[in-house]
Amino acid sequence: SQGAGAPGAPGGVDGPTRARIGARTLRSDRWWAYPLATFVVFLAFIVYATVRAFANSHFYAAPYLSPFYSPCLTDSCEQAGAADFGTPFGWWSLSPALLILIFPLGFRLSCYYYRKAYYRAFWLSPPACAVAEPHRTYTGETRFPLILQNAHRWFWYAAVLVALVLTWDVVLAFRDEHGDWGHMGLGTLLMLANVVLIWLYTLSCHSCRHITGGRLRHFSKHPVRYRMWTFVSRLNADHGRYAWYSLFSVALVDLYIYLLATNVFDDPRFF
Protein backbone atom coordinates (compact mmCIF):
# COMPACT_ATOMS: atom_id res chain seq x y z
CA SER A 1 0.00 0.00 0.00
CA GLN A 2 0.97 3.60 -0.45
CA GLY A 3 1.90 5.97 2.35
CA ALA A 4 0.21 9.29 2.96
CA GLY A 5 2.76 11.21 0.90
CA ALA A 6 3.02 14.91 1.75
CA PRO A 7 1.79 15.88 5.23
CA GLY A 8 -1.94 16.49 5.14
CA ALA A 9 -2.37 14.77 1.77
CA PRO A 10 -5.01 12.06 1.56
CA GLY A 11 -3.65 8.58 2.13
CA GLY A 12 -4.92 5.01 2.26
CA VAL A 13 -7.38 4.28 -0.54
CA ASP A 14 -7.65 8.01 -1.20
CA GLY A 15 -3.93 8.18 -1.94
CA PRO A 16 -2.72 9.69 -5.20
CA THR A 17 -1.65 6.39 -6.69
CA ARG A 18 -4.94 4.56 -6.04
CA ALA A 19 -7.61 4.03 -8.67
CA ARG A 20 -10.71 6.16 -8.13
CA ILE A 21 -13.42 3.64 -7.27
CA GLY A 22 -16.51 4.80 -5.43
CA ALA A 23 -17.69 1.40 -4.22
CA ARG A 24 -16.17 0.07 -1.03
CA THR A 25 -15.63 -3.23 -2.78
CA LEU A 26 -16.60 -4.95 -5.98
CA ARG A 27 -16.50 -8.34 -4.33
CA SER A 28 -19.83 -10.15 -4.28
CA ASP A 29 -18.83 -13.17 -2.17
CA ARG A 30 -19.10 -13.40 1.60
CA TRP A 31 -15.74 -11.75 2.21
CA TRP A 32 -16.89 -10.59 5.66
CA ALA A 33 -17.28 -14.15 7.02
CA TYR A 34 -13.57 -14.64 7.79
CA PRO A 35 -12.99 -11.34 9.63
CA LEU A 36 -16.28 -11.70 11.48
CA ALA A 37 -15.52 -15.26 12.62
CA THR A 38 -12.01 -14.16 13.61
CA PHE A 39 -13.39 -11.25 15.60
CA VAL A 40 -15.88 -13.39 17.50
CA VAL A 41 -13.47 -16.22 18.29
CA PHE A 42 -10.57 -13.96 19.27
CA LEU A 43 -12.79 -11.84 21.46
CA ALA A 44 -14.17 -14.94 23.20
CA PHE A 45 -10.64 -16.22 23.74
CA ILE A 46 -9.38 -12.88 25.08
CA VAL A 47 -12.26 -12.65 27.57
CA TYR A 48 -11.88 -16.26 28.68
CA ALA A 49 -8.07 -16.12 28.96
CA THR A 50 -8.16 -12.81 30.85
CA VAL A 51 -10.66 -14.12 33.41
CA ARG A 52 -8.69 -17.31 33.89
CA ALA A 53 -5.30 -15.63 34.03
CA PHE A 54 -6.41 -13.28 36.80
CA ALA A 55 -8.32 -15.97 38.70
CA ASN A 56 -5.31 -17.33 40.61
CA SER A 57 -7.34 -20.41 41.52
CA HIS A 58 -8.40 -23.81 40.16
CA PHE A 59 -5.40 -24.05 37.84
CA TYR A 60 -4.17 -27.39 39.13
CA ALA A 61 -6.00 -30.70 39.44
CA ALA A 62 -3.36 -33.29 40.31
CA PRO A 63 -1.50 -34.23 38.19
CA TYR A 64 -2.67 -31.69 35.61
CA LEU A 65 -1.41 -28.11 35.49
CA SER A 66 -3.20 -25.58 33.30
CA PRO A 67 -1.06 -24.35 30.39
CA PHE A 68 -2.02 -20.77 31.32
CA TYR A 69 -0.14 -21.20 34.60
CA SER A 70 2.93 -23.11 33.47
CA PRO A 71 5.66 -22.79 34.60
CA CYS A 72 4.10 -22.03 37.97
CA LEU A 73 6.62 -20.04 40.02
CA THR A 74 4.97 -18.41 43.05
CA ASP A 75 3.85 -19.38 46.54
CA SER A 76 0.29 -20.07 45.42
CA CYS A 77 1.76 -22.71 43.07
CA GLU A 78 3.48 -24.30 46.05
CA GLN A 79 0.23 -24.36 48.00
CA ALA A 80 -1.53 -26.00 45.05
CA GLY A 81 1.28 -28.58 44.74
CA ALA A 82 2.19 -27.33 41.26
CA ALA A 83 5.59 -25.66 41.83
CA ASP A 84 7.61 -28.14 39.75
CA PHE A 85 10.25 -25.49 39.02
CA GLY A 86 10.47 -24.05 42.55
CA THR A 87 9.18 -20.64 43.65
CA PRO A 88 11.69 -18.03 42.43
CA PHE A 89 8.83 -15.49 42.47
CA GLY A 90 7.50 -16.48 45.87
CA TRP A 91 6.98 -12.80 46.77
CA TRP A 92 4.55 -12.32 43.86
CA SER A 93 1.06 -12.10 45.31
CA LEU A 94 -0.95 -11.76 42.10
CA SER A 95 -1.82 -14.63 39.80
CA PRO A 96 1.26 -16.64 38.72
CA ALA A 97 -0.17 -16.72 35.19
CA LEU A 98 0.50 -12.99 34.87
CA LEU A 99 4.23 -13.62 35.23
CA ILE A 100 4.56 -15.93 32.28
CA LEU A 101 1.67 -15.23 29.90
CA ILE A 102 3.54 -12.27 28.42
CA PHE A 103 5.70 -14.74 26.48
CA PRO A 104 3.02 -16.79 24.71
CA LEU A 105 0.93 -13.63 24.41
CA GLY A 106 3.77 -11.67 22.82
CA PHE A 107 4.52 -14.61 20.56
CA ARG A 108 0.95 -14.85 19.31
CA LEU A 109 0.33 -11.11 19.10
CA SER A 110 3.39 -10.63 16.90
CA CYS A 111 2.79 -13.80 14.85
CA TYR A 112 2.60 -13.12 11.13
CA TYR A 113 -0.58 -15.13 10.79
CA TYR A 114 -2.35 -13.54 13.76
CA ARG A 115 -1.29 -10.10 12.57
CA LYS A 116 -3.07 -10.69 9.30
CA ALA A 117 -6.09 -12.04 11.16
CA TYR A 118 -6.50 -9.26 13.70
CA TYR A 119 -5.51 -6.42 11.41
CA ARG A 120 -8.42 -7.56 9.29
CA ALA A 121 -10.91 -8.45 12.00
CA PHE A 122 -10.26 -5.70 14.56
CA TRP A 123 -8.74 -2.80 12.63
CA LEU A 124 -10.36 -3.50 9.26
CA SER A 125 -7.02 -2.64 7.73
CA PRO A 126 -8.17 -3.85 5.29
CA PRO A 127 -11.10 -6.11 6.24
CA ALA A 128 -10.37 -8.39 3.26
CA CYS A 129 -8.55 -8.42 -0.06
CA ALA A 130 -9.96 -5.82 -2.44
CA VAL A 131 -12.18 -4.27 0.24
CA ALA A 132 -11.35 -0.64 1.02
CA GLU A 133 -10.32 0.10 4.56
CA PRO A 134 -11.91 2.95 6.50
CA HIS A 135 -8.58 4.53 7.50
CA ARG A 136 -7.30 7.52 5.59
CA THR A 137 -3.64 6.95 6.26
CA TYR A 138 -1.42 3.93 6.14
CA THR A 139 2.03 3.61 7.66
CA GLY A 140 2.28 -0.16 7.79
CA GLU A 141 4.51 -1.44 10.56
CA THR A 142 7.16 1.22 10.16
CA ARG A 143 6.42 3.21 13.31
CA PHE A 144 5.84 2.74 17.01
CA PRO A 145 4.03 0.73 18.25
CA LEU A 146 3.72 -1.66 15.32
CA ILE A 147 7.43 -1.62 14.67
CA LEU A 148 7.69 -3.71 17.83
CA GLN A 149 6.25 -6.58 15.80
CA ASN A 150 9.86 -7.11 14.75
CA ALA A 151 10.44 -8.66 18.18
CA HIS A 152 8.63 -11.76 16.97
CA ARG A 153 11.80 -13.77 16.46
CA TRP A 154 12.81 -13.13 20.07
CA PHE A 155 9.41 -14.21 21.30
CA TRP A 156 9.95 -17.36 19.28
CA TYR A 157 12.90 -18.36 21.50
CA ALA A 158 10.79 -17.74 24.60
CA ALA A 159 7.95 -19.75 23.06
CA VAL A 160 10.28 -22.70 22.56
CA LEU A 161 11.14 -22.62 26.26
CA VAL A 162 7.44 -22.48 27.16
CA ALA A 163 6.73 -25.40 24.81
CA LEU A 164 9.49 -27.39 26.53
CA VAL A 165 7.92 -26.69 29.92
CA LEU A 166 4.48 -27.72 28.63
CA THR A 167 6.05 -30.92 27.30
CA TRP A 168 7.43 -31.60 30.76
CA ASP A 169 3.95 -31.04 32.18
CA VAL A 170 2.66 -33.77 29.88
CA VAL A 171 5.34 -36.14 31.17
CA LEU A 172 4.24 -35.33 34.73
CA ALA A 173 0.63 -35.98 33.73
CA PHE A 174 1.54 -39.66 33.47
CA ARG A 175 1.72 -39.78 37.28
CA ASP A 176 -1.33 -40.22 39.46
CA GLU A 177 -2.35 -37.78 42.19
CA HIS A 178 0.03 -39.54 44.62
CA GLY A 179 3.01 -39.08 42.31
CA ASP A 180 3.21 -42.69 41.11
CA TRP A 181 3.95 -43.29 37.45
CA GLY A 182 1.74 -45.25 35.08
CA HIS A 183 -1.39 -43.10 35.14
CA MET A 184 -3.27 -42.05 32.04
CA GLY A 185 -6.54 -40.17 32.11
CA LEU A 186 -8.47 -38.09 29.65
CA GLY A 187 -6.59 -35.09 31.02
CA THR A 188 -3.27 -36.71 30.05
CA LEU A 189 -4.48 -37.19 26.48
CA LEU A 190 -5.85 -33.67 26.20
CA MET A 191 -2.57 -32.22 27.47
CA LEU A 192 -0.65 -34.42 25.04
CA ALA A 193 -2.78 -33.30 22.08
CA ASN A 194 -2.37 -29.70 23.18
CA VAL A 195 1.40 -29.87 23.37
CA VAL A 196 1.60 -31.51 19.92
CA LEU A 197 -0.44 -28.63 18.50
CA ILE A 198 1.68 -26.08 20.37
CA TRP A 199 4.84 -27.61 18.87
CA LEU A 200 3.31 -27.67 15.39
CA TYR A 201 2.39 -24.02 15.78
CA THR A 202 5.81 -23.05 17.18
CA LEU A 203 7.87 -24.99 14.64
CA SER A 204 5.80 -23.87 11.66
CA CYS A 205 6.50 -20.22 12.54
CA HIS A 206 7.86 -18.00 9.77
CA SER A 207 10.69 -16.84 12.04
CA CYS A 208 11.58 -20.45 12.77
CA ARG A 209 11.83 -21.00 9.03
CA HIS A 210 14.24 -18.12 8.77
CA ILE A 211 16.20 -19.22 11.84
CA THR A 212 16.71 -22.70 10.38
CA GLY A 213 17.37 -21.85 6.75
CA GLY A 214 17.74 -18.09 6.40
CA ARG A 215 20.90 -16.22 5.37
CA LEU A 216 22.46 -19.27 3.73
CA ARG A 217 24.07 -18.83 0.35
CA HIS A 218 24.48 -22.50 -0.40
CA PHE A 219 22.11 -25.06 1.01
CA SER A 220 24.48 -27.76 -0.27
CA LYS A 221 27.08 -26.65 2.27
CA HIS A 222 24.61 -26.88 5.16
CA PRO A 223 22.79 -30.19 4.70
CA VAL A 224 21.46 -30.35 8.28
CA ARG A 225 20.05 -26.86 8.24
CA TYR A 226 18.64 -27.52 4.77
CA ARG A 227 16.78 -30.53 6.10
CA MET A 228 15.46 -28.61 9.06
CA TRP A 229 14.38 -25.79 6.78
CA THR A 230 12.63 -28.22 4.43
CA PHE A 231 10.78 -29.74 7.38
CA VAL A 232 9.78 -26.34 8.79
CA SER A 233 8.75 -25.14 5.33
CA ARG A 234 6.40 -28.06 4.99
CA LEU A 235 4.83 -27.30 8.36
CA ASN A 236 4.76 -23.61 7.55
CA ALA A 237 2.16 -24.12 4.82
CA ASP A 238 -0.38 -24.93 7.55
CA HIS A 239 0.76 -22.35 10.08
CA GLY A 240 -2.58 -20.54 10.18
CA ARG A 241 -4.41 -23.78 10.86
CA TYR A 242 -2.06 -24.63 13.73
CA ALA A 243 -2.57 -21.12 15.11
CA TRP A 244 -6.30 -21.80 15.40
CA TYR A 245 -6.06 -25.38 16.60
CA SER A 246 -3.53 -24.59 19.33
CA LEU A 247 -5.60 -21.61 20.45
CA PHE A 248 -8.60 -23.88 20.92
CA SER A 249 -6.62 -26.67 22.55
CA VAL A 250 -4.92 -24.45 25.11
CA ALA A 251 -8.27 -23.00 26.19
CA LEU A 252 -9.91 -26.42 26.20
CA VAL A 253 -7.21 -27.95 28.42
CA ASP A 254 -7.47 -25.04 30.84
CA LEU A 255 -11.25 -25.38 30.94
CA TYR A 256 -10.99 -29.11 31.49
CA ILE A 257 -8.61 -28.63 34.43
CA TYR A 258 -10.84 -25.91 35.85
CA LEU A 259 -13.83 -28.27 35.74
CA LEU A 260 -11.81 -31.01 37.45
CA ALA A 261 -10.51 -28.61 40.09
CA THR A 262 -14.03 -27.40 40.85
CA ASN A 263 -15.29 -31.00 41.11
CA VAL A 264 -17.76 -30.70 38.26
CA PHE A 265 -16.75 -34.22 37.19
CA ASP A 266 -13.97 -36.75 37.64
CA ASP A 267 -11.20 -37.40 35.15
CA PRO A 268 -11.96 -40.61 33.21
CA ARG A 269 -8.95 -42.95 33.67
CA PHE A 270 -7.64 -45.45 31.17
CA PHE A 271 -5.02 -46.87 33.55
Q: Which residues bind ligand FES (CB under 6 A)?
A: 111-113, 152, 205-207, 239
Amino acid at 37: A
Residue 59 or 113: which CB sits closer to ligand FES? 113
Residue 60 or 113: which CB sits closer to ligand FES? 113
Residue 192 or 200: which CB sits closer to ligand FES? 200
CA angle 203/204/208 to nearest 5° reads 65
Residue 58 or 152: which CB sits closer to ligand FES? 152
Query: Could you tell me the smallest distance in angstroms from the CB atom of residue 150 to ligand FES?
Result: 12
Nearby residues of 48 by Cβ (< 8 Å), 6 or more positions away: 251, 255
Query: What backbone torsions phi and psi does residue 180 show, to the nearest 5 degrees?
Result: -90, 140
Query: Could you tell me the smallest distance in angstroms from the CB atom of residue 202 to ligand FES?
Result: 7
Query: Could you tell me the smallest distance in angstroms from the CB atom of residue 154 to ligand FES?
Result: 11
Neighbours of 214 (CB within 10 A): 12
Query: Could you tell me the smallest distance in angstroms from the CB atom of residue 89 to ligand FES?
Result: 26
Residue 62 or 111: which CB sits closer to ligand FES? 111
Contact 194, 166 (CB under 8 A): yes
Residue 34 or 244: which CB sits closer to ligand FES? 244
DSSP 8-state secondary structure symbol assigned to residue 23: S
- Quote the CA–CA distance of 8 and 6 in Å, as a whole number: 6
Best CA proximity match to 45, nearest among 227, 267, 219, 244:
244
Best CA proximity match to 66, nearest among 79, 47, 80:
80
DSSP 8-state secondary structure symbol assigned to residue 86: -
Query: Could you tell me the smallest distance in angstroms from the CB atom of residue 112 to ligand FES?
Result: 4
Query: Could you tell me the smallest distance in angstroms from the CB atom of residue 158 to ligand FES?
Result: 12
